[in-house]
Structure 1
Amino acid sequence: MPNTCSACPKKFTFPETGSGICQSCNEFYCSECSSIGPDRTILCNRCRVLESNEANWDSVMGLNIRDLKWFMRRRNIPSVGLIEKEQFVDAVLNSLGISTRSSNAGDYVFPDSTKRNVKLEDLMSEESIENLSVRQIKDLLVYNFVDFTHCVEKAELIARAKQLWRNYKQQQPPIFETHEAVEVEDCQNAGTSSERCPSDKCPGDLNDECGICMEAPINCVFLECGHLFSCVDCGRKLTECPLCRQSIVRIVRTFRV
């Protein structure tokens, strides 16, 4: 007889009051992870919830992710692409034939879904980002080379995505033609104020923040499209413009005056 509970790391000496083998999954549990029903049968806490005819969103949500993954392994339920606990709960409830809270809202995407990734041009407003799943937001940030390694909460990912979307909208439509953008570099070398470039050619009204790292200032222009969107360090890592998807031939450093 094993002396380790299947649901927790607790070790004990058998027999222990209330401990035993679950009649549903046939695994051994301690008294804290199992209970005896009115018919004197022993059921573990997770089987008592998941095998119950009254299982619902709230009861399954009360289990931890470890228990949900255990149940999905037993039922051979695919878990590829699932990140948030709500997604695991939805997958479990769907396998039990129980309607989920998110099924009506349509915000759950199964792993085998063929829906394409969301792009910036697909978003109608900044608020529409809040309706995306965590996976869609991360794909959007990765596609636009935005670092989110230090983002833990979904709200932090949404904030990064909203900043990216604002930068994208501020760059539409293109402000400079290619030959005008190159002339910005000459502004720094002007000897007097009268020799400086006209105000309509200087990016004084642009957002200073790089649309990729969101830390350094915008200081380069993409050729041949002429968009200003990132700093030089981030621009060197790009193969195509995040705004128009045109291939980047080279980048030119710009200077603010």
Structure 2
Amino acid sequence: CELPGVREGLGSSPGVPRAPRADLTRAVFQTPGLGRKRARASLSDISSLEDIEGMSVRQLKEILACNFVNYSGCCEKWELVEKVSRLYRENEENHKTQGERMQLNEDDDSLCRICMDAVIDCVLLECGHMVTCTKCGKRMSECPICRQYVVRAVHVFKS
């Protein structure tokens, strides 16, 4: 059932002329600035905490979104600034401690991959992988590297 005049006037008020659809489309696509690619703001763009204060709300939200930080409850700019500032400080701290961790990794090469306490001193037989201490090796039913069944864990002596 169709009412007369409904189809022609769909979505328009009486006495208000409707713009043709092609004109609306052209107006949207020819808006200046929309065609250009805009560089996204990132955490690496920030050189100090003072830079964060001068950023727009859009840039702050982009940084938070790119770093998987939820900002859904933030209504004010200062809340976003606070979150980005915290993210920036934590990121700087991570970069400082990364050098220390790299030095620790050299020592970790000889630690048991299961308990991370004892030195690797065991070879798992049939596969021959050396990834555990004797204590953990004896408890293994399969190799943590290749998942092959462990027949025996043999203590080895390194010289």
Same fold (TM over 0.5): no
Higher relative contact order (CA 8 A, sep 6+): 2
Q: Which has the larger radius of gyration?
A: 2
Task: Name the one with the larger helix percent.
Answer: 2
TM-score normalised per structure 2: 0.43
